[in-house]
Amino acid sequence: MEDMERIFGLSRALGGTDRVLGRLVLASMVLFIAVMTGLAGSTGSLHMRLIELCLLFISMLVALHIHFKSPQALLPYALTMWVFSPEIRRFLDWSFRSYTETSLISLIPYTVSLVMLIPVIPNIKHLDRRIGLVIKLIGAALVYGFAIGFWRYGLSSVFDLLNYVVPFLVLVYVHLTGFSRKTHDQWLRSFSCLAVLVAAYGIYQYMVLPPWDHFWMTNAEMNSIGIAEPQRFRLFSLLNSPGPAGVFLAVALAVMVVQKKWRVFGYAGILLVAFALLLTLVRVGWIACAVMIMAYFFRSKMKNRLQLLILAAILLLAYQFILPVLPGSSQVVSRLDTFSALEDDHSFNERLLFSKHIFTTVLSNPVGMGLGSSGLGAKLTQNDTALIAFDNGYLNIFYTFGVFFGTVIIIFILYLLVSLFKSSKLEKLYTPLSFSIVCVIIFLMMASNVLRGLSGFVLLLLLALSFTYVDKPSDQKNNGRSNIAYRIPRRFNN
């Protein structure tokens, strides 16, 4: 342990208490990895599992090194791991010609993200009162859901718990560390850069379909995304499926559109991301992008509104004259046509039937099913009673946490909407962005639970940016630094 401290600079960067906390976090991570390794390692080849374990440890050690040497890069690194880990897993499966339902690679984003606990734990008492109240309410809901879920589903509830904890950890981390506006702008440009990479690879994937992606499509039996042939499936790029890819690209495209300084590769990057988003054929992603842009438009400066109108005109012209000559345009147009006849759309009708069934289940069991009852965590224990796919986020909340805590979470979302609407009258850059994120969350929750996993990580990261500044108006006179920055060690104020 002491050797690791010297490697990562803990002895110089931390005092006595912080060093103990760093050791505890590191030990907890090792214990967590050991338990999950035993669970996931019960299937699959030993050689493949050893490679996965090495990648897991290396990614965690890199995260620790970044945290202590260049902490402003930790969030972009964690987001990169969220984006690339599904593709790394597919490549490994293809290399060993062995498809597995569970993989240690899936744990990489969580172990990397949990490094954020190191600065959060000793400074948790400095949370703003409003954020503290929100975290207490969400924490109570998670403890309740975990207690029920662990009793019913075992370790799958642990994985599901992490899916919720990590996004809310991001919210607390951004609020407490008090990085400057310059750093926040760098984070947003990193997000845009990742989106361009996801879009570029996704378009290549759609045109060629690399063998590792073909292997995954064939063995995962994802019939809903199309046929495993070039240009005959819905783009999913580096991510798990078209749904997460659509949400990721939609939010990134909106961020790139609303502010010039947050985009990369200019208008070419915007058009690339927009085309990839269309190829996902995720309708809620298309609408979410429009909702986010309009919400930002509604609360931003007049200058930004004029720029948005010009950019919207450019995108409409591109859709009218460029899209028809691009590959996959017929599928996009066919998908758009379904908006005019939703009553005949198979996917829409399936969602309605599913929602009616789950609504009846919630009424018959108001205490909730607990964490691990739905989502990817169910794959760990392969429980037959759990629902991996859940096509309604609001019902998923009530199904998991029960009527009482489900209502608490919905009230939390509405509280954020009202609070940010009021705050956006004073601050016209980050607060309108966070306000638009809450609007998107309210919309997307009608299709899936976006408060967990990668979507939760991205949405709550963007939501958290405003809370560093809206608490005290004098922040705007402080060269972009938060007034809470003095509470955090100097190395965080970049």
Give pLDDT tens digits for 314-368.
777 776 767 676 777 777 777 776 766 666 666 777 777 877 878 888 888 888 8
Residue with tokens 């438009």, as numbered in its chain = 297
Q: What is the pLDDT of residue 349?
A: 74
The secondary structure of 10-73 as a DSSP string is HHHH--HHHHHHHHHHHHHHHHHHHHHHHHHTTSS-HHHHHHHHHHHHHHHHHHHHHHHH-GGG
Q: Does the pLDDT at position 65 exceed 60?
A: yes
Residue bearing the bigger pLDDT, 13 or 122: 122
What pLDDT was estimated at residue 20?
A: 56
Burial class (CB in 10 A: 0-12, 13-18, 19+), 229: exposed
The pLDDT of residue 78 is 96
Alpha carbon 104 to its chain centroid, in Å, reads: 19
Q: What is the pLDDT of residue 188?
A: 96
* pLDDT band of 45, cuts 50, 70, 90: low
pLDDT band at residue 41 using 50, 70 and 90 as cut-offs: very low
For residue 1, count other CB atoms closer than 10 A to its CB. 9
**Statement: residue 6 has pLDDT above 50:** no
Distance CA 149, CA 55 (A): 30
- Amino acid 12: pLDDT: 45
Q: Kindly state the average pLDDT of the residues 472-485.
A: 40
CB-based contact 227:434 (threshold 8 Å): no
Indicate the pLDDT class of residue 29, thresholds 50, 70 and 90: low
Higher pLDDT among residues 375 and 386, named by residue: 375
Question: Of 91, 92, 287, 96, whose CA–CA distance to 205 is shortest?
Answer: 91
Contacting residues for 330 by C-beta, under 8 A, at least 6 apart = none
Q: How many residues does the chain have?
A: 494
- Each residue's pLDDT tens digit, 265-306: 988 999 899 999 999 989 899 999 999 998 988 877 666 667
pLDDT tens string 195-240: 999 999 999 999 999 999 999 998 887 777 888 889 889 999 999 8
Cβ 183 vs Cβ 74: under 8 Å: no
Q: What SS3 string covers 112-150?
A: HHHHHHHHHHHHHHHCCHHHHHHHHHHHHHHHHHHHHHH
Question: By percentage, how much of the chain surpasses pLDDT 90?
Answer: 40
